[in-house]
């Protein structure tokens, strides 16, 4: 007889999947648009990418506040202590990246002289002045952080697969909607 | 004794005024600028033209006789991004090869009181000519004068941005042009 799964709260679950979805759109969009020749489409895609990024940043703030004020369900005891620590570290770095990736993009945009105007309506302040060299550097930072993010997302999903099919202590339902929530 | 020297001083001023006037006619190109603002996906951007030549004659006492001509090398454009600079000299934008220069030729200057004027003229870009009117201020500091003014054009009036770029949802039609012209004066005989 199995004990019912202890889930994350519905809010945490919603934020997790919403942010995941936005990242799954923004990441390939960023890769694709950078190599395009200048065209109205390119300008549009850059704006969409930036809007998605800022949305992720806003959601990340909400998510962090929620995380700090709500204790997540404990990992099952079947998972070794060392693995739990590793899991916490990966989750911690993912949280950092939810902020660092959009902020680096915002900074890069400012340094390159393109203000971010959220949804074409709300101009965001330029965090740094226009500076060509700084722009190039921040582009590299933004790219590098994204590849680290990609690596960690792969690790995140790989862990899920391992727990389901190798360890048989499926942890995915903790983050799936439905049933009783904590 | 309202001194003789004082009378002499003022009358000499009067004489000078009658014989000489300041005509501003030496444009200091290196201190002058032609800049523009535009919006791309509602993102405000600024650019400038770094190479232009200007001829100007302006006597504040005879504003209506003022004349000005500005020739801008369109290839000297700085749109705010290197990618943009390469694109806009091309055929769809300024077609700098066939139309290397944009020019403004004044047709009249109207005093609006104080240091404010209204300059009218013909603006030619990419072979298309349109009438433009710009409010201008003129400030002097001795023999140094500064004109500041600006006006808005619609880029499609000059077919700046053809083909896919006629789409105004990405790059807006309105382009705000601003000029800052420094011109030195030489006294001239009336």
Best of A34, A36, A37, A43 to disrupt the B interface by mutation (most B CBs within 10 Å)? A43
Res. A123: pLDDT tops 70 = yes
Quickly count helices (H) and strands (E) in chain B.
2, 11
Which residues 118-137 of A are in CB contact (within 8 Å) with B?
Answer: 120-121, 123
In chain A, what residues touch B169 (CB-CB under 8 Å)?
40
CB half-sphere exposure, B21, CA atoms < 13 A: 12
Q: Please count the residue pairs, one from chain A and one from chain B, whose beta carbons lie less than 8 angstroms apart.
A: 40
Residues of B with CB under 8 A from a CB of A: 40-45, 80-81, 83-84, 86-87, 164-165, 167, 169-171
- Picking from A82, A77, A88, the residue whose alpha carbon sits closest to that of residue A3 is A77
- Span B164-189, mean pLDDT? 90
**A44, B44: Cβ pair inside 8 Å?**
no
Please choose, from the candidates B182, B181, B178, the residue with its C-alpha nearest in 3D space to the C-alpha of residue B35.
B178
Q: Is the pLDDT of residue B80 over 90?
A: no
Q: Which residue of B has its CA nearest to A47?
A: B41
Share of chain A above pLDDT 70, in %: 95
Q: Does A161 touch chain B (CB under 8 A)?
A: no
Using a 10 angstrom Cβ sphere, with 0-12 exposed, 13-18 middle and 19 or more buried, the burial of residue A138 is: buried
Q: Does A46 touch chain B (CB under 8 A)?
A: yes
Tally the C-alpha atoms within 13 A of residue B150's C-alpha that lie toward its C-beta.
12
pLDDT of residue A43: 93
Q: Mind listing the pLDDT tens digit for each residue in B132-176?
A: 999 999 999 888 999 999 999 999 999 999 999 999 999 999 999
pLDDT at residue A80, as a whole number: 84
Taking the CA of residue B43 and the nearest CA in chain A, the distance in Å comes to: 6
Which DSSP letter does residue B144 get?
A: E
Name the one residue in this structure whose structure tokens are 């201020």.
Answer: B137
Q: What is the pLDDT of residue B3?
A: 67
Tell me whether residues A121 and B42 touch, CB distance under 8 A: yes
What percentage of chain A has pLDDT greater than the value 90? 68
Tell me the pLDDT tens digit for each residue of B39-50: 999 999 999 999
Least confident of A7-21, A76-90, A133-147, B135-149: A76-90
Give the pLDDT of residue B36: 94
> What is the predicted pLDDT for the residue at B12?
54
Question: Measured between beta carbons, which residues in chain B are less than 8 angstroms from residue A117?
Answer: 41-44
pTM of the model: 0.83
Q: How confident is the model at residue A179 (pLDDT cuts 50, 70, 90)?
A: low
What's the whole-number mean pLDDT along residues A52-64?
97
DSSP state of A17: H
Question: Which of A38, A43, A113 is opposite residue B41, by nearest beta carbon?
Answer: A43
pLDDT at B154: 96
Q: Do A114 and B45 touch (CB under 8 A)?
A: yes
Whole-number Å distance between alpha carbons of B151 and B161: 19
How far is B14 from B115, CA to CA, in rounded Å? 22
**Which residue would you say has higher pLDDT here, B7 or B151?**
B151
Which stretch of A127-141, A165-179, B63-77, B139-153 has the lowest confidence by average pLDDT?
Answer: A165-179
Which of B43, B87, B167 lies nearest to residue A115, judging by beta carbons? B43
CA–CA gap between residue A142 and residue B160 (Å, rounded): 34
| pLDDT for residue A170 | 77
Specify the pLDDT at position A69: 93
- How confident is the model over B26-35, as pLDDT tens digits? 889 999 999 9
Residue in B closest to A130 by C-alpha: B80
- Confidence bin at A181 (pLDDT 50/70/90): very low
d(CA B60, CA B92): 41
Tokens of A74: 């404990």
Kindly indicate whether the ipTM for this predicted assembly is greater than 0.95, answering yes or no.
no
Give yes or no for residue A167 having a pLDDT over 60.
yes
Average pLDDT of the segment spanning A90-100: 96
* A117/B contact by beta carbon, under 8 A: yes
Determine the distance in angstroms separating the CA of A135 from the nearest CA of chain B, rounded to an integer: 11
CA distances from B101 to B95, B98, B128, B133, B166 (A): 10, 9, 12, 20, 22
Smallest Cβ–Cβ distance between B43 and the set A38, A39, A117 belongs to A117
Instruction: Give A1-40 pLDDT, tens digit per residue.
Output: 355 678 888 899 999 999 999 999 999 999 999 999 999 9
């Amino acid at each position: 007889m199995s004990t019912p799964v202890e889930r994350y709260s519905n809010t945490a679950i919603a934020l997790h999947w919403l942010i995941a979805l936005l990242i799954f759109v923004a990441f390939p969009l960023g890769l694709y648009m950078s190599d395009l020749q200048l065209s109205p489409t390119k300008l549009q895609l850059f704006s969409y990418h930036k809007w998605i990024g800022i949305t992720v940043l806003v959601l990340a703030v909400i998510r962090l506040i929620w995380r700090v004020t709500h204790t997540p369900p404990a990992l099952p005891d079947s998972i070794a202590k060392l693995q739990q620590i590793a899991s916490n570290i990966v989750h911690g770095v993912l949280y950092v990246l939810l902020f660092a990736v959009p902020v680096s993009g915002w900074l890069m945009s400012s340094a390159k002289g393109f203000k971010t105007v959220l949804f074409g309506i709300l101009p965001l302040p330029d965090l740094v002045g226009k500076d060509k060299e700084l722009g190039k550097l921040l582009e590299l930072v933004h790219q590098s952080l994204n590849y680290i993010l990609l690596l960690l997302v792969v690790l995140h999903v790989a862990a899920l697969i391992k727990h389901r099919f190798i360890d048989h202590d499926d942890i995915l339902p903790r983050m799936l909607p439905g049933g009783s929530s904590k | 004794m309202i001194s003789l020297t004082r009378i002499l001083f003022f009358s000499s001023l009067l004489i000078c005024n009658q014989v000489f006037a300041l005509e501003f006619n030496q444009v200091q190109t290196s201190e002058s600028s032609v800049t523009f603002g535009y919006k791309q996906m509602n993102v405000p951007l600024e650019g400038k033209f770094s190479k232009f030549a200007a001829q100007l004659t302006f006597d504040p006492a005879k504003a209506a006789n003022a004349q000005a001509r500005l020739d801008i090398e369109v290839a000297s454009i700085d749109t705010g991004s290197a990618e943009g600079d390469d694109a806009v000299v091309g055929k769809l934008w300024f077609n700098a090869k066939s139309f290397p220069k944009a020019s403004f030729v004044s047709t009249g200057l109207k005093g609006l009181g104080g240091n404010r004027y209204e300059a009218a003229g013909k603006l030619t870009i990419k072979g298309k000519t349109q009438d433009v009117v710009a409010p201008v201020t003129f400030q002097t500091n001795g023999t140094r004068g500064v004109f500041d003014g600006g006006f808005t054009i619609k880029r499609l009036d000059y077919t700046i941005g053809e083909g896919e770029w006629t789409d105004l949802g990405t790059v807006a039609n309105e382009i705000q042009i601003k000029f800052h012209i420094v011109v030195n004066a030489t006294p001239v005989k009336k």
